[in-house]
Amino acid sequence: MLLDPIRFRRYRRIQLYLIACIFGLFVITGLVNLLGINQVDKAYTKLYEESLLPAMLLGQITESWYENQLLIEEHFINNSQLELNRIELEMRKEVQLIDSLTGYYQQYYDIGAEHRRLDDYLNHRKNYIALERSMLELSKSGLKKEAHDLMLSEGNGEFRKMLKPLHQMIENDRMVALADYQEAEEGTNQIKRISYIMMGLILLFAIIWGIRYSYLYLENML
């Protein structure tokens, strides 16, 4: 038995509505995912630029200072003028690298509490550089023991004071990075939840449409 034309048109209209809803949900899901991807991308970019990159710069500065410290100790145990010249050249290169990285950090990340810590670091750096020159002069003059004693009595203490603000800044950047990562991770999870909900709605409307279509087909066949 064929369906009444009015009922048939009504069922067709309902089917079209369901198909439009499914299509609309697909479009909305795509837009939500696209928007979510952009937001997550911005969050991870912020994580890199505001936390990881400055921490990497500070880590390189710290590493170069430790390398510089090892070169000074190497200077104390060498008597060859050629070797002493080589060591001093490497030390100057390390200091130049440190100054370059510090200048970059000052230009882009010297804000808030970091400014105070950076000033603290720069003040201790001046003191340490002065002690370093004195140690090198003693070592070049052959007074190796005196140079080593100066390092033990004053140099190492000033070295630790100089690096302390850097370690504090690295730890602060680590905490900021952790907070930024959690924010980015939460954004990712939120996008996943929304996508699952949208896909669930699409599946629901598809089931409803299938049931409606099957019912219409069976009625039309009877």
Structure tokens at 85: 């010249």
pLDDT at position 210, please?
A: 66
CA 153 to chain CA centroid, nearest Å? 39
- Comparing 1-10, 84-93, 189-198, which segment has the lowest mean pLDDT? 1-10
pTM assigned to the model: 0.68
Share of the chain above pLDDT 90, in %: 32
Fold topology of 5-221: f41 fragment of flagellin, N-terminal domain (1.20.1330)
Chain segment 5-64, per-residue pLDDT in tens: 666 566 667 666 766 776 776 777 677 666 766 766 666 676 666 677 888 889 899 999
**pLDDT, tens digit (0-9, with 9 covering 90-100), for 91-108:** 999 999 999 998 888 877
Q: What is the pLDDT of residue 2?
A: 47
Decide if 44 contacts 183 (C-beta within 8 A).
no
Provide the 8-state DSSP code for 4. P
Burial label for 142, CB within 10 Å (0-12, 13-18, 19+), is exposed
Number of other residues whose CB lies within 10 A of the CB of residue 165: 21
Q: CA–CA separation, 58 vs 124, rounded Å?
A: 16
CB 86 within 8 A of CB 184: no
DSSP letter at 77 equals: T
Domain spans of the chain? 5-221
Residue 173 binned pLDDT confidence (cut-offs 50, 70, 90): confident
